[in-house]
Homo-oligomer: A and B are copies of this chain.
């Protein structure tokens, strides 16, 4: 896991040669999969799954310490911050003010300037309030944060977030926790075409092929949580996701064959015997 600056992940270097990794703020990640740490049946499974996923960056939430705690739920008791880049999120915030406050608490707790900015606009769909996200992003960027902004599939909003100085823009594939996969590949493809900061698809991936087809759109990475935590075997699914993200990335760099509505033989039509 290098930490030297590099523009490797910015845009995509297609063609031969090794893929150079995903640059987010000061970091260059060897893995294009970012994993969430929520909703696992237990911490041991969470730790093992994240290890299997190959993720080098993991999201965490900021919550009150449970003062009359039976169980220790602090995630740092389980995850080694020396091994994983922690990405504090502002999940659960419905206003720019709250999001900024949580971002600052996360920075104080993690001693890192990275933040996954999330300002929710609707409780049922958990879709973002893009205007409030933009307001919060401007404040946080001015305070030196590296902002990874959760947003919807709208190209216009994505461009605004880039203009606001976000370090990465994170459109969703489908609603958080839905597992519906990549519903609108056109928009995700267009967002990637138009932005120069990394585009990381956040939320909606349900299984390996969802992650694979998402990466085949040319995006720089995928962030997932529920698909791992709610799989029957989270560790095995995490391994599948690691492979699928690499597969999709490689396939995009390799350049797929054309689609045809008719058949073409794979064996020579010459040289048949009489």
Q: Which chain A residues have a beta carbon within 8 Å of chain B's beta carbons?
A: 15-16, 36, 38-39, 59, 61, 63-64, 66, 89, 91-92, 101-102, 105, 121-122, 124-131, 152-157, 159, 174-180, 183-184, 186, 189-190, 194, 206-209, 211-213, 216, 225-227, 229-237, 239-244, 246-251, 253-273
28 CB contacts below 8 A, A to B, read A15-B233, A36-B267, A63-B267, A63-B271, A64-B273, A89-B267, A92-B269, A101-B273, A121-B156, A122-B159, A125-B262, A127-B156, A127-B263, A130-B156, A183-B184, A206-B257, A206-B259, A208-B251, A212-B212, A231-B255, A231-B256, A237-B256, A239-B254, A240-B247, A240-B250, A240-B254, A243-B250, A244-B248
How long is the Cα–Cα vector from A134 to B93 in the complex, in angstroms? 23
Chain B residue numbers with a CB within 8 Å of A231 are: 254-257
Q: In the complex, what's the smallest C-beta–C-beta distance from A55 to chain B, in angstroms?
A: 14
A251 near B207 with CB under 8 A, answer yes
